Amino acid sequence: MIQAIVNAPNEGANSFFLNLDAEPQDPYMIWDIPPTSGFEPRTVSWRGNGTYNNSEFVPKVFNLGQGSHQLILRGREAYTALQSLTIMQYP
């Protein structure tokens, strides 16, 4: 799973497109972030067949094989900011 330090100041500035190893698909691979007060940690989720305020995949767990992988993150809404990302093993 992926944890990030993000600033998502309001409902109009709180999402990214995100996927591993392929371009994210809209609307399935949207990461809707609950609004923050400045930069705060958030775990990546995917909207899937859910809605902007009720994602289907919470958290989004990626099952990766050995080898190299590419994280693809695309901006979706202006003023949503990313400070850092951490890839973690799911507990």
pLDDT (tens digit per residue) in 32-62: 999 999 999 999 999 999 999 999 999 999 9
- Total residues belonging to the chain: 91
Work out the pLDDT band at 91, boundaries 50, 70, 90.
confident
Report how many domains make up the chain.
1
Q: Residue 50 sits in which domain range?
A: 2-87
pLDDT (tens digit per residue) in 9-24: 999 999 999 999 999 9
pTM (2 d.p.): 0.94
